């Protein structure tokens, strides 16, 4: 068996798609940690909680049940207190507020605890911002995916257009820029590559190309040839 895989990087670098496909290829569980911060943000917004009230948000994190389900079809479903919030957590309102919730130390402590529990009982590909640096510092395979701001905004724009939303490229670019700044400048576990992470610039790469590259790198790092032979 191989060890866990940590994938970090800024918004729109293609982490979730790549991580999901890689998990399928390896037969691992895919854990989208961003979805957990989003689910909590969704709940806080639903309840009308003031997002500057850190104490309330920490209490909310402690009493909220967040579950991630890998479906047989290869997609993931997100449940918040038993409610399917898979689509709701992708709403712009959630996207634009999630980094405010994610910078609260007590919220992070609680969600990181849940993430570590999931990784303790399964082989996982986990993606987020602090997986290689904080959640799974012992993971043998760490990747940091980046892409230019322009390209990341273009990808997000296309996703939203395909899902039938009317959006403006410049606005998306500005939102991603703001989120990047909040995620990398926060005091607790900011977005940054782990010292032992492989940094991959995906600006000019397709999804399949990135997945193949990660498989190649994992193979190269896997010392036991019997282990690497089960990776295709």
Name which of 43 and 222 has its Cβ closer to ligand DC.
43
Minimal distance, residue 148 CB to ligand DC, in Å: 17
Name which of 202 and 222 has its Cβ closer to ligand DC.
202
200 counts as binding ligand DC under rule CB under 6 A? no
Q: Which residues pair with 80 in a beta bridge?
A: 66, 83
Which of 34, 106, 140, 193 is in the footprint of ligand DC by CB under 6 A?
A: 34
Characterize the bridge pairing of strands 5-8 and 76-80. Answer: unpaired
4 counts as binding ligand DC under rule CB under 6 A? no
Pairwise CA distance, residues 68 & 58, whole Å: 20
37 counts as binding ligand DC under rule CB under 6 A? yes
Q: Cβ neighbours of residue 146 under 8 Å, at least 6 residues apart?
A: 9, 10, 13, 199, 200, 201, 202, 203
Which of 102, 119, 200, 205 is in the footprint of ligand DC by CB under 6 A?
A: 102
Which one of 21-29, 57-65, 123-131, 147-155 is the stretch in contact with ligand DC (CB under 6 A)?
123-131
Query: Token digits for 53?
Result: 């009230």
Residue 134 Cα distances to 18, 37, 137, 151, 156, angstroms: 21, 16, 5, 27, 27
183 counts as binding ligand DC under rule CB under 6 A? yes
198 counts as binding ligand DC under rule CB under 6 A? no
b/e map of 45-71 (b: 16 or more CB within 10 Å)?
beeebeeeeeeebbebbeebebebebe
Which one of 63-71, 129-137, 155-163, 192-200 is the stretch in contact with ligand DC (CB under 6 A)?
129-137
33 counts as binding ligand DC under rule CB under 6 A? yes
Which of 20, 142, 155, 179 is in the footprint of ligand DC by CB under 6 A?
A: 179
Residue 47 Cα distances to 38, 68, 83, angstroms: 14, 22, 14
Binding site for ligand DC (CB under 6 A): 11, 33-34, 37-38, 98-99, 102, 128-131, 179, 183
């Amino acid at each position: 068996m191989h060890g866990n895989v940590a994938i970090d990087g800024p918004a729109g670098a293609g982490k979730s798609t790549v991580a999901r496909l890689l998990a399928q290829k390896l037969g691992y569980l895919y854990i989208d940690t961003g979805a957990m911060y989003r689910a909590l943000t969704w709940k806080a917004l639903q309840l009308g909680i003031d997002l500057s009230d850190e104490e309330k948000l920490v209490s909310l994190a402690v009493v909220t049940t967040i579950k991630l389900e890998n479906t047989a079809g290869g997609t993931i479903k997100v449940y918040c207190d038993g409610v399917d919030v898979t689509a709701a957590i992708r709403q712009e309102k959630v996207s634009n507020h999630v980094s405010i919730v994610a910078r609260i130390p007590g919220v992070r402590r609680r969600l990181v605890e849940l993430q570590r529990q999931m990784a303790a009982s399964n082989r996982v590909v986990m993606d987020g911002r602090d997986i290689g640096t904080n959640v799974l510092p012992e993971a043998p395979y760490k990747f940091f995916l980046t892409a230019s701001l322009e390209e990341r905004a273009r990808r997000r724009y296309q996703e939203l257009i395909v899902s039938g939303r009317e959006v403006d490229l410049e606005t998306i670019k500005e939102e991603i820029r703001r989120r990047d700044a909040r995620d990398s400048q926060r005091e607790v576990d900011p977005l940054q590559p782990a010292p032992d992470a492989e940094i991959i610039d995906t600006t000019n790469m397709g999804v399949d190309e990135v997945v193949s590259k990660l498989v190649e790198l994992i193979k190269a790092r896997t010392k036991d040839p019997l282990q690497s032979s089960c990776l295709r």
